[in-house]
Amino acid sequence: MFTERTEVQTPLSNVFHWNYDVLFPQMDRLYENAKRDQWNVSTTINWDRPIEREVIDMSMMPMFQTELYRSLSQERKDQLMRKFAAWRLSQFLHGEQGALMVCGQLVEAAPDLDAKMCAAAQVMDEARHVEGFRKYITKLDKIYPIDPTLNRLLCAVIEHERWEPKYVGMQIVAEGLAIAAFRFMQRETKDGLLKELLEYIMKDESRHVGFGMLALRDAVRKLNGKEKKDLEDFAFTACDMMVTKIVDGQPKDGFLSGTSVFEEVGISTKDVEDEMQRNPEWAKAEAQMEQQFNSFLFVDTIIPCLRQLDLINQRTEPWYTQLGVMQMASAA
């Protein structure tokens, strides 16, 4: 049983804006698109369909190629696969609740009405995503606790006293992570129901990144020197949290709580460690997969956005180089 509630204190100031003119036409268009593209989890998707037995394409997962996995009965293989998928989807669910809360804060704190209205539209999007993932996961298996790494990022964003870091942490880093993770999951799954759910959600998410960029472009230019440096520092800290470090050929940090699903199907931690000793190629393949995901995450979305905002610049670029993500961008 995991803790059902977490309280986070925030010193955020609320801002009224009494000028009702449209100040940012591009943001107004995003708001119109958000209204146009609303969909209903309950009726747009046919939930009467059964979930496919192979939720994940096993051939794409390194652990499923090991002797340990091959030694399991088919029933335990299916159970492990469904639980692992449920754990991953649970992290999506928790991230969507975090986005729901941050967007609620942005409605209060954004300095202009156009941004408030876009944030309000996104609140509805995020509530719909929470509903969709909750519905699918409970149909599949059960909801797993939030991974400590994701929890740290969400709390850091929610606790911040300024609104600009909330845009960077949620609209750029967390939404970028979500888009990359959803694409990976859509590629790996054989289940039509999950593919359809992810397709609808990803359409919303791409609009959210655009909203964040529009809100931040003008705001970053108006920051004084200290505020700009603080935002640069926060952007890097958020990225650093999300990168899975590879140490001695094995993933370290990052989203590692998924190993708990092994215990649930009768595979002890020692069994997993012994298998890694016998089969170093497993750990190597897992590390390569993590690096591929990191590349997908940073090259496609996060690095280009942070560069456009001048949050990756002469001062901060060496940090990202040391983190390894600039090399990914250069290789792409």
pTM given for the model: 0.90
Mean pLDDT of 126-140: 98
Spatial contact of 179 and 202, defined as CB atoms under 8 Å apart = yes
Size of the chain, expressed as the number of residues it contains: 332
Is residue 255 pLDDT above 70, yes or no?
Answer: no
Euclidean distance between the first and the last CA atom of the chain, given in angstroms as a whole number: 43
H or E element at residue 207: helix 192-222
Domain ranges of the chain: 25-51+72-331
pLDDT in tens, 256-275: 667 788 888 888 878 877 87
55 Cβ neighbours under 8 A, 6+ residues apart: 81, 82, 85, 140, 189, 190, 191, 194
218 Cβ neighbours under 8 A, 6+ residues apart: 24
Share of the chain above pLDDT 70, in %: 92
Query: Looking at per-residue confidence, does 173 or 331 come out higher?
Result: 173
Is residue 65 pLDDT above 90, yes or no?
Answer: no
121 Cβ neighbours under 8 A, 6+ residues apart: 31, 34, 35
Mean pLDDT score across all residues of the chain: 88
Q: Where are the alpha helices (DSSP H) in 223-279?
A: 225-242, 260-264, 269-278
pLDDT in tens, 198-223: 999 999 998 998 899 999 998 999 99
Q: Which two tokens stand for residue 101?
A: 């809360």
In the chain, DSSP assigns E strands to 245-247, 250-252
pLDDT given for residue 285 in this prediction = 74
When the candidates are 1.20.140.10, 1.10.620.20, 1.10.150.120, 1.10.760.10, the CATH number that belongs to 25-51+72-331 is 1.10.620.20
Nearest to residue 39, comparing CAs of 255, 203, 243? 203
53: helix, strand or coil: coil
56: helix, strand or coil: strand
**In terms of DSSP bridges, do strands 250-252 and 245-247 run parallel, antiparallel, or are they unpaired?**
antiparallel
Mean pLDDT of 227-237: 97
pLDDT given for residue 114 in this prediction = 95
Confidence band of 1 (pLDDT split at 50, 70, 90): very low
- Residue 240, Cα to own-chain centre: how many angstroms? 14
Nearest to residue 182, comparing CAs of 149, 156, 206? 206
Spatial contact of 175 and 238, defined as CB atoms under 8 Å apart = no
